[in-house]
Chain A
Amino acid sequence: MKFKDAEHLLRMAFLFVAGLIVFVLLRNALVPRSFGQYGHYRGDALGEIKARPVAYAGHGTCETCHSDVLEVKDKGKHTHVACESCHGPLAKHADDPTAVQPEKLDTRVLCVRCHEANSAKPKSFPQVVSADHSAGLACNECHKPHTPVIEAEAKATGGKKK
C-alpha cells in the first residue's frame, strides 16, 4: 500500500522526464549543429560567408599572364596602382581570358578620378585641372597609362606641371 501512495509522484516524475526528453530532442533538432562551435552563433556561417566568389582577382593573378605589362608598369609611376584599380573587377576574365574580355577604358573618365585637382587631396599627389591640362583630349593621347610620365617632356621641364 505504501507504493500506491507514491504513485502520483512517479507519474509526475515520468511526465517531467518525458518533457525533458522532448525538450532536448526538439532543441537538438532546431538548433543547428554548429551553433556554439566558436561562440554564441552558428559556426557554419563562417564557411558560408567564406564561400562567396571573388570579383577582384588580385594583382598577383593578373601578373601570372600579363608579365609583359607588369614589367612595363613597374618602371613607371603607376607601379603601386593595382591592375584592377583601373581595369575593374576581372576575376571572371582571369578564369577564362578569351570568353570574358575586359571593357575598353575611357581615360577621360578614368584618370581624372584620381588626378583631378582637389584641395582636399594631399599636396604631394600629382594633380591636374583636366580642363586646362588636356582640353578635352583623352589622357592616353599623350600619356601611356602603364608608364604615365612623359619622358621627353619630363626631362625638358624637370617634370614640372604646366
Chain B
Amino acid sequence: MNLSRRKFLILLPAAALAWESIKAGTPEAAPNYNVSQHWWAMLVDIEKCIGCGSCVRACQKENDVPDGYYRTWIERYRISEVDGVENIQVDSPDGGKNGFKPSNEQGLKEFFVPKMCNHCADSPCTQVCPVGATFASPDGVVLIDQKYCLGCRYCVQACPYGCRFIHPETNTAQKCTLCYHRITQGLTTACCEVCPTAARQLADLKNPKDPIHEYLRTHSVQVLKPHLATGAKLYYNGLDGAVR
C-alpha cells in the first residue's frame, strides 16, 4: 500500500499536467473578419458567359494551379437533335483557358458552362475524409488543410462534380478555395474579378444587402445535380437540362 501511495503522489502532478494541456486556450480568431457573419456562394449566369477563359487563366495565376489541372474550367455544350433524340457534345480544350474555336455546324443549341467547386453545405467530399483535412468552414467554403491531407484520394472520388485533383508535386488534394485569401479581406474571387460580363458573381447569403437575394427572387435559378442533395451553392441562371 505504501508503494501505491507514493506512486499516487507521482501521478498527481502528471495528471495535473494532462488537465492543463486539455484546458489550454483555443487560438485567437483572425481580427476584422468574422466567420459567423458570412455564408459564401456564387452565381453563374450562363446567358452572359462568352467563354473567353479569363476566369480559368486568372484562377491559375492567382492560385498557382499547375498546367493541365483546373480549379475552375469552362465547358462548351453543343446540342443537336437527331431523329428526335438529343445529341449532346461537350468539349473543354485546356479547360477553356484559351477560349474555344468557333464551330462550323449550324443550327445547334450552344452555350458555355463555367464550372468549379459547388461549395456544398452537405458535401460528400468532407464526409469521406479520414483525417479531418477537408471541411466546410463556418462561412460556407469547402477547404483543404494542406498540412493534414494524406493524399488518399477519397474526396477526389466522392465529389460528384469532379472538382478535386491531386497536386502532382505536393501529392495532396486541391480544389477551388473560393479565393478564401481574397474574400476574407473584402476582395472578390480572381475569377469574378476578371469576368468581363459579370457572368460570375460572388455572393454572401448572410449579407442582407447582397444583390443575390433580389436575384434569387426574380430568377429561376438551379444547381447542378440537385437530386444528390449536396446543398450546392453554385447557382446557375439559364441552366439547360442537358448540363450534368
Chain A residues at the B interface, C-beta cutoff of 8 Å: 3, 7, 10-11, 14, 17-18, 21, 24-25, 28-29, 33-35, 37-56, 58-59, 80-82, 84-85, 88-89, 113-114, 116-122, 125
Contacts and interface: CB of A to CB of B under 8 A. Distances in A.
B52 A50 contact: no
Contacts of A45: 135, 143, 145-148
A10 B7 CA distance: 11
Given A54-B62, A56-B193, A113 B111 contact: no
Nearest to B53: A113
Interface residues of B, number: 69
B108 A119 contact: yes
Contacts, number: 173
Nearest to B143: A49
Given A38-B137, A122-B48, A56 B132 contact: no
A54 B33 CA distance: 17
B52 A114 contact: yes
A120 B145 contact: no
A24 B22 CA distance: 8
Nearest to A51: B181
Given A25-B21, A116-B99, A125-B50, A50 B112 contact: no
A58 B188 contact: yes
Contacts of B47: 122
B102 A11 contact: no
Interface in B1-60: 1, 4, 7-8, 11, 14-15, 17-18, 21-22, 24, 26-27, 30, 33, 35, 47-54, 58
Q: Residue among B77, B111, B197 with the most chain A CB within 10 A? A: B197
A71 to B, nearest CB: 20
Given A41-B148, A43-B26, A120-B103, A89 B138 contact: no
22 contacts: A7-B1, A7-B4, A14-B8, A17-B11, A28-B24, A33-B27, A42-B132, A42-B148, A45-B143, A46-B35, A48-B147, A51-B181, A55-B190, A56-B187, A80-B197, A85-B194, A88-B61, A113-B52, A116-B102, A117-B102, A118-B103, A119-B108
A50 B146 CA distance: 13
